[in-house]
């Protein structure tokens, strides 16, 4: 196993869409280490002659990436002080040509996302409210997570209850400043309509309008998964493959049939126009109002 700037990697690297990850130890603590596939720093002079225009350009792009990423780290750290559900990146590292970031690993008994539906309704409400409060804290710092989906929420048992921990901030961005459309990560089944349009049309001006409302849309899809144990999809007889393509009436919400109060919340969160969706800070009260009040203990950051 290797050591990366003091982090002793002690697992195999697992390949994912945007790089690879492993677990490491430092000062007795366990950390999650992500090795990013892009950008790559031009450190090899045999491939990148120092005085060439290409080398100078790529170095400048890498320096801009480092500057922006560090700003995002500080913003997410500030949000994590507001909400203990957020697990922020701690360090941006570069070893030779590769960039890495580290965050504290979420340890404890994990709950699979499809099993959340087996919890009591009150427990599900608290999990959903925790996540809404995380989005509100991120919005206050101007951050869009951009990948609110099941694998970026680790539900762990702490202090006698299940607590969702929001991870995966390597591709977050400041509101109105998403990465280039062709490099946008995430899964289409969680895309908001405006995110999908930005990616499809490759129109940079559309990115100016992407803000926390896109996370609210994705969170609505995740809420359906938690409530029912089923993924939200268009009806089989529709012409659509993903929720962002369909109106609410074209979505198969049959697994939540009879739960009119939840479907009311879901329809608001999945409004086609971002300005019609609730603000993250308003969602916890909406859950209280339409789904019954659930005890919501105050959480401290990890």
Residue 50 pLDDT > 70, yes or no? yes
Residues for the chain: how many in total?
A: 302
Average pLDDT over residues 134-160: 95
Which superfamily does 3-104 belong to? Phosphorylase Kinase; domain 1 (3.30.200.20)
- Rounded CA separation 277/190 (Å): 15
Residue 298 pLDDT > 90, yes or no? no
Residue 84 pLDDT > 50, yes or no? yes
Question: Cα dist. 241→114, 119, 141, 223 in Å?
Answer: 21, 29, 34, 19
Please answer whether residues 147 and 186 qualify as being in contact, where contact means their C-beta atoms are separated by less than 8 angstroms.
yes
Query: CA-based diameter of the chain, in Å?
Result: 68
pTM (global) more than 0.95: no
pLDDT for the residue 63: 96
Average pLDDT over residues 286-291: 83
Return the closest-CA partner of residue 237 out of 225, 248, 251: 251
Greater model confidence, 203 or 302: 203
Query: For 110-291, CATH number?
Result: 1.10.510.10
Per-residue pLDDT band for 292 (boundaries 50, 70, 90) equals low
pLDDT for the residue 1: 66
pLDDT for the residue 210: 96
pLDDT for the residue 293: 59
* Ranges of each domain in the chain: 3-104, 110-291
pLDDT for the residue 183: 85
pLDDT for the residue 299: 46
> Mutual orientation of helices 121-140 and 212-228 as an angle, nearest 10°?
170
- Rounded CA separation 296/2 (Å): 42
- What are the pLDDT digits (tens) for 94-111? 999 999 999 999 988 899
- Mean pLDDT across the chain: 93
Return the closest-CA partner of residue 126 out of 289, 2, 287, 301: 287
- Three-state SS across 7-57? EEECCCCEEECCEEEEEEEECCEEEEEEEECCCCCCCCCCCCCCCCHHHHH
- What are the pLDDT digits (tens) for 164-221? 999 999 999 999 999 998 888 789 999 999 999 999 999 889 999 999 999 999 999 9
pLDDT for the residue 204: 87
Q: Do domains 3-104 and 110-291 have the same CATH topology?
A: no
Instruction: Please name the residues in contact with 109: beta carbons below 8 A apart, sequence gap of 6 or more.
Output: 156, 157
Q: Which own/partner contact pairs does 70-74 have at CB distance under 8 Å and 24+ positions apart?
A: 71/174, 72/143, 72/169, 72/172, 72/173, 72/174, 73/101
Please answer whether residues 81 and 300 qualify as being in contact, where contact means their C-beta atoms are separated by less than 8 angstroms.
no
- Rounded CA separation 83/287 (Å): 18
Cα dihedral across residues 81, 82, 84, 88: positive or negative: negative
pLDDT for the residue 301: 44
């Amino acid at each position: 196993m290797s050591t990366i700037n003091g982090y002793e990697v002690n697992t195999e690297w697992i390949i994912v869409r945007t790089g690879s990850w492993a677990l490491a130890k430092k000062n007795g603590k366990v950390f999650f280490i992500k090795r990013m596939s892009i950008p790559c720093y031009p450190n090899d002079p045999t491939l990148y002659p120092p005085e060439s225009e290409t080398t100078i350009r790529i170095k400048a792009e890498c320096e801009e990436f480092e500057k922006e990423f560090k700003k995002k780290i500080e913003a997410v750290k500030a949000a994590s002080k507001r909400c203990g559900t957020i697990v922020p990146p701690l360090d941006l590292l570069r070893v030779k040509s590769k960039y890495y970031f580290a965050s504290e690993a979420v340890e404890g008994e994990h709950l699979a996302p499809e099993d959340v539906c087996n919890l009591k309704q009150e427990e599900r409400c608290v999990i959903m409210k925790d996540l809404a409060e995380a989005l509100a804290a991120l919005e206050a710092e101007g951050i869009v997570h951009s990948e609110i989906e099941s694998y970026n929420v680790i539900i762990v048992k702490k202090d006698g209850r299940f607590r969702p921990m929001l991870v995966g901030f390597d591709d977050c961005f400041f509101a109105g400043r998403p990465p280039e459309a062709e490099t946008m990560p995430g899964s289409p089944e969680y895309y908001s309509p405006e995110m999908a349009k930005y990616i499809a049309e490759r129109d940079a001006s559309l990115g100016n309008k992407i803000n926390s409302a896109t996370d609210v849309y994705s969170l609505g899809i995740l809420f359906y998964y938690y409530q029912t144990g089923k993924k939200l999809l268009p009806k089989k007889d529709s012409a659509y493959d993903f929720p962002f393509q369909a109106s609410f009436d074209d979505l198969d919400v049959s697994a939540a049939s009879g739960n009119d109060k939840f479907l009311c919340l879901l329809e608001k969160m999945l409004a086609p126009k971002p300005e019609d969706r609730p603000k993250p800070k308003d969602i916890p009260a909406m859950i209280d109002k339409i789904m019954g009040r659930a005890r919501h203990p105050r959480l401290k950051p990890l």
